[in-house]
């Protein structure tokens, strides 16, 4: 007889007691210590899977395997590397639903968002596979007589890629595919919150024809990442994560003159000018704070609104925000899932408490967990807005990484730009206006790696992304990304 008291398992295809292996060289292995940790589904609060904790020794083996593989992979024709990426892209496509579901199981983001991200993986693999076939240097006529000179761009060596949990495969793909396309080999350390989707992506890479050692995946938490950063065999670090961890990594890399690409935190300002199309602007303000349950470095978490439209914008947000559907992230109708982990829930709800202590005015939302009607499971926080007139308010200054926005009123363009630039972060910023001259002026003045005008969260694999100030160093995707994974060599020829 079937047990009717227990609801059916949401991920029936995954054995919750499965032991996953990590990838070192040609072997799928457990940690040498035998130590494992468990994944956790933030929606149903269940643990699932056992994943190895890689020690410094395991990391050293992975780096050595990548070093061995570099000798061959860096020298085979770019066409052969491109062909592997192209087959990998095809396999990603064929397995896209599995990849999307695994990520939902790991981090509780909505299936709709994870399907979209998985679709973009394929594009990223294809794009860098093609880009690797393009010109790789230039000829230059030097000022010295009787000489010729040209440049070549060569792979850097072994790349250490450390990824976060909020978009595990998307943000990894921005490192993985350009690095491999350019002829580097790689050791990946996924977040301890989201390791299994990365292991599955790696398996598809081997099926696509990656030679042993070109891609290695070591699993574990901060200490495994630190062992990778400190490994003497690496030549470059590509990291996405918090600004505080990024600062530690940058310091350790600086001591060895290692090249780094760092994509860190953000506190994006969405500026609504008086002449904005308010239908589009308010819809974007909502998704700016709710997309990915606000757990996104590209969140538009500061809402700068011109005084003449302030009341109307707030009225509209008070209607629109409660309509955002909170629920099981596997349901395509859910727009907001739970926060990805217990620590993340503690952090975000801590900010809700702080907002009250600071005396910020609650405009909409503010409830958490079982205070939200219909919520019986998962760690949910309602999309929430506070008016934050005090420039010292921590709600207005700090990255919360949850569906929480700080609303700020301004009176003219100069003030809007000044407030937007008061943040230590500089990843994304944007504005809503019909005035083309103002859009050009303000776009130049905003201290931000990305500026969106009359749009938000627009991404394309061939357009660079990255930040300034405390949001990081370097650019991912777009043609710039290939430069981040190659070194320029100038070659001179003295003529007889």
To which H or E segment does residue 187 belong?
A: strand 185-189
Nearer to ligand ADP, 226 or 330 (CB): 226
Min CB(432)–ligand ADP separation in Å: 29
Task: Exactly one of 39, 106, 113, 175 is catalytic; name it.
Answer: 175
- Measured at CB, which residue is nearest to ligand ADP? 225
Min CB(49)–ligand ADP separation in Å: 17
Q: Give whole-number Cα distances, 406 to 60, 77, 342, 396, 446, in Å.
A: 45, 51, 23, 5, 18
Min CB(248)–ligand ADP separation in Å: 5
Nearer to ligand ADP, 198 or 393 (CB): 198
Min CB(461)–ligand ADP separation in Å: 23
Concatenate the DSSP letters of all residues of 379-433 into one string.
--B--EEEE---TT-HHHHS---SSEEEEEEESSHHHHHHHHHTSSEESEEEEE-
Task: Return the residue matching tokens 């190659």.
Answer: 486
Minimal CA–CA distance to 43: which of 106, 96, 99? 106
Minimal CA–CA distance to 384: which of 454, 400, 458? 400
Compute the Cα dihedral for 85, 80, 485, 148 and give only its sign: negative
398 noted as active-site residue: no
Min CB(156)–ligand ADP separation in Å: 19
Q: What angle do CA 404, 406, 410 make, to 5 degrees?
A: 155
Min CB(163)–ligand ADP separation in Å: 6
**CB 285, CB 430: distance < 8 Å:** no
**CB 274, CB 434: distance < 8 Å:** no
Nearer to ligand ADP, 109 or 189 (CB): 189
In angstroms, the CA 40 to CA 43 distance is: 9
Q: How far does the chain reach from its first CA to its final CA, in angstroms?
A: 91
Min CB(90)–ligand ADP separation in Å: 28
Size (the chain), residues: 496
Task: Exactly one of 113, 192, 263, 447 is catalytic; name it.
Answer: 263
* Site for ligand ADP, rule CB under 6 A: 162-164, 189, 191-192, 221-222, 225-226, 229, 241-242, 245, 248-249
487 noted as active-site residue: no
Nearer to ligand ADP, 410 or 425 (CB): 425
Task: Exactly one of 106, 297, 382, 447 is catalytic; name it.
Answer: 297
In angstroms, the CA 19 to CA 31 distance is: 11
To which H or E segment does residue 129 belong?
A: helix 111-131
User: How many CB atoms neighbour CB 250 within 10 A?
Assistant: 19
The alpha-helical segments, DSSP class H, found in 291-336 are: 310-320
**CB 177, CB 128: distance < 8 Å:** yes
Compute the Cα dihedral for 217, 220, 225, 230 and give only its sign: negative
Strand order of the β-sheet with 27-29 is 27-29, 22-24, 215-217, 185-189, 158-162, 236-240, 259-263, 472-473
Min CB(258)–ligand ADP separation in Å: 13
175 noted as active-site residue: yes
476 noted as active-site residue: yes
Q: Which residues are catalytic?
A: 175, 263, 297, 476
């Amino acid at each position: 007889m079937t047990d009717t008291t227990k609801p059916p398992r949401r991920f029936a295809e995954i054995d919750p007691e499965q032991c996953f292996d990590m990838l070192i060289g040609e072997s799928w292995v457990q940690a040498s210590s035998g130590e494992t940790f468990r994944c956790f589904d933030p929606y149903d609060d269940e643990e699932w899977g056992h994943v190895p904790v890689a020690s410094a020794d395991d990391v050293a083996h992975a780096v050595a395997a990548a070093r061995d593989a570099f000798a061959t992979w860096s020298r085979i024709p770019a066409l052969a590397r491109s062909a592997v990426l192209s087959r990998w892209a095809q396999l990603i496509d064929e397995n896209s639903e599995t990849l999307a579901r695994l990520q939902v199981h790991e981090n509780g983001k909505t299936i709709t968002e994870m399907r979209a991200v998985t679709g973009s993986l394929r594009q990223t693999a294809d794009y860098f596979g093609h880009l690797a076939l393009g010109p790789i240097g230039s000829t230059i006529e030097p000022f010295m007589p009787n000489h010729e000179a040209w440049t070549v761009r060569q792979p850097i060596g072994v790349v250490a890629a450390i990824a976060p949990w909020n978009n595990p495969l998307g943000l990894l793909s921005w490192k993985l595919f350009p690095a491999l396309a350019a002829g580097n080999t790689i050791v990946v350390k996924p977040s301890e919150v989201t390791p299994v989707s990365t292991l599955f992506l790696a398996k598809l890479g081997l099926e696509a024809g990656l030679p042993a050692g070109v891609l290695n995946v070591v699993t574990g938490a901060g200490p495994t990442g630190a062992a990778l950063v400190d490994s003497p065999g690496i030549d470059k670090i590509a990291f996405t994560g918090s600004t505080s961890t990024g600062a530690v990594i940058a310091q350790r890399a600086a001591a060895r003159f290692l090249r780094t690409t760092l994509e860190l935190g953000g506190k994006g300002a969405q500026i609504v000018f008086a002449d904005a199309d308010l239908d589009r602007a308010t819809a974007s303000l909502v998704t700016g704070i709710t997309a990915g349950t606000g757990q996104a470095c590209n969140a538009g978490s500061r809402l700068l609104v011109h005084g003449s439209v302030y009341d109307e914008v707030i009225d509209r947000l008070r209607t629109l925000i409660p309509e955002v559907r909170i629920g099981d992230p596997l349901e395509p109708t859910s727009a907001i899932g739970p926060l990805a982990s217990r620590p993340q829930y503690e952090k975000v709800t801590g900010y809700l408490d702080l907002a009250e202590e600071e005396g910020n005015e609650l405009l909409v939302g503010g409830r958490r967990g079982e205070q939200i009607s219909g919520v019986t499971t998962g760690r949910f926080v309602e999309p929430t807005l506070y008016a934050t007139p005090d420039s010292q308010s921590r709600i207005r200054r700090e990255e919360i990484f949850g569906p929480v926005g700080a609303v700020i009123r301004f009176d003219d363009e100069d003030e809007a730009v000044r407030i937007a630039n008061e943040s230590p972060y500089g990843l994304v910023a944007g504005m809503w206006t019909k005035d083309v001259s103002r859009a050009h002026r303000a776009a130049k003045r905003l201290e931000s790696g990305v500026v969106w005008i009359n749009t938000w969260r627009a991404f394309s694999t061939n357009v660079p992304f990255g930040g300034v100030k405390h949001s990081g160093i370097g650019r991912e995707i777009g043609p710039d990304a290939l430069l981040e994974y190659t070194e320029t060599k100038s070659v001179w020829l003295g003529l007889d």
